[in-house]
Amino acid sequence: MKQELITISPIDGREVVRRPYVDETTLAAMLERAQAAQPAWRARPLNERKALVSAAVERFVAMRDEVAHAITLQMGRPLRYTPGEVDGFAARARHMIDIADTALAPVAVAPQAGFTRYIKREPIGVVLTIAPWNYPLLTAVNSIVPALVAGNVVILKHSEQTPLCAERMHRAFVEAGLPADVFQFVHANHEMTQRLIAAPEIGYVSFTGSVNGGRMVERTAAGRFIGVGLELGGNDPAYVRADAKLDHAVETLVDGAFFNSGQSCCGIQRIYVADSIYDTFVEHAVALTQQYVLGDPMLPETTLGPLVRVSAADGVRAILADAAERGARNLIDAKRFAADRDGTAYLAPALLVDVDHSMTLMNDECFGPAVGIMRVKDDDDAIQWMNDSPYGLTAAVFTRDEDAAVRIGERVSTGTFFMNRCDYLDPALAWTGVKNTGRGASLSVIGYEHLTQPKSFHLRSL
């Protein structure tokens, strides 16, 4: 069993972080301290909790350049983009703080003579957040901030690829004056992570990661009767109708497919295009994709960095080979991208046509800079293919007809349905999914429901 966390940068293969894993004794003490800290934190007025969490968020924003550099170093997203994740962290956090009074207000019921009746939302206790590397801030903030504001205490277990993000976040909360042990982080191997999930002190688990990881969480938590929120991935589709604004659709979907080197749960992996505009769409998409600059993500001109590790890039290469063997054509010549070399994490973007749903690219999560484009004859045809997936995180339609978009959206199995945009998360809306994408919801007022428990008051006057 590994005794140390070692993070290798995909930029050049060098070691950038080495930390000891938590041991059983230290973990038990951490859980005990978290449980002990929660009653006093819960007892603080909501406005005080909001003020302290807000101060921590602003302290974290003040570390923007440092945090952005750490993200790029650990997982390879170009440095020109990583400051935007700090901004996104702040925007989501501020929104969840702003709506807390409404989200946590007692639920009134119909008046009844002689009785006072209402439903109060109470904190669960200790929340465990298990966050991934691909968006290390945006995935973690979804549960951490509302959990703390609601009166819970939080333990953050971050990906082994992005441990510095957990450390920087914790430092910001401490420097902002959050009481001791209200927010803790832990570097844990798989065995200790399972120990955490199974610990009687933990009352809720928020997990973002793979389907297999989600199954592990459910198995480990089984029989404990606690809530688990699982956001497990996607194979997200988009449909470009004949009435779409073509240039906007091309620009939005190419970015939706290749941003973060395609390492996004809600990134676009399948595009279905109306027959009448298919050829033009493909032509423009190829031209735009060829403009990407693949290389060292620390350089300002780079728009496409490496994948998170060499094995991840090799996995995407295998998916592309599978598609080619089944008749797909990649319209992007990898030779245009000098950094693309076997044995490295650097991989050129791939835009495939002549695809079908027998290919892994079109029926499972790829998590790399690859997208398939398929011709469809009408709305019904597009909806059939959009729904032909074991996942359901987001789906998008590009059209000038909002009524048509609503009709299509009502028939597509997905957690979020977009019109004329994609690969985006609005904190005012519930972030959720169907099928193998998981269960539960984060963000919006609904997110608070999962991080609290209802308590009914039924008071009779005599």
Q: Which of 253, 245, 247 is CA-nearest to residue 374?
A: 253
The residue count for the chain: 462
Side-chain-side CA neighbours of residue 395 (13 Å): 26
Concerning whether 365 is annotated as a catalytic residue, the answer is no
Task: Please report where in the chains the tokens 């060499």 appear, as a residue.
Answer: 310
Handedness of CA 36, 206, 314, 249 (dihedral sign): negative
Given the residues 201, 231, 365, 449, the one annotated as active site: 231
DSSP structural state of residue 259: G
Query: In degrees rounded to 5, what are phi and psi of residue 402?
Result: -65, -35
Is residue 1's pLDDT more than 80? no
pLDDT in tens, 76-115: 999 999 999 999 999 999 999 999 999 999 999 999 999 9
Average of per-residue pLDDT values in the chain: 97
pLDDT for 261: 98
pLDDT in tens, 330-384: 999 999 999 999 999 999 999 999 999 999 999 999 999 999 999 999 999 999 9
* CATH class of the domain whose range is 236-426: alpha beta
Domain boundaries, the chain: 4-232+437-460, 236-426
- With a CB cutoff of 8 Å and minimum separation 6, the contacts of 216 are 194
DSSP structural state of residue 415: S
The yes/no answer on whether domain 4-232+437-460 falls in CATH 3.40.605.10 is yes
Q: Show contacts of 456-461: CB within 8 Å, 24+ apart.
A: 456/117, 456/118, 456/119, 456/120, 457/116, 457/117, 457/118, 457/119, 457/120, 458/115, 458/117, 459/115, 459/116, 459/117, 460/114, 460/115, 461/114, 461/115, 461/116
User: What's the rounded Cα separation, in Å, for the pair 364 and 265?
Assistant: 12
The number of beta carbons lying within 10 Å of the beta carbon of residue 281 is 22
446 by Cβ neighbours in 10 Å (0-12 / 13-18 / 19+) ranks as middle
**Which amino acid makes up residue 196?**
L
pLDDT for 2: 73
The arithmetic mean of pLDDT across residues 408-433, rounded, is: 97
User: What's the rounded Cα separation, in Å, for the pair 296 and 72?
Assistant: 10
147 by Cβ neighbours in 10 Å (0-12 / 13-18 / 19+) ranks as buried
Is residue 398's pLDDT more than 80? yes
4-232+437-460 and 236-426: identical CATH topology: no
User: What's the rounded Cα separation, in Å, for the pair 33 and 126?
Assistant: 10
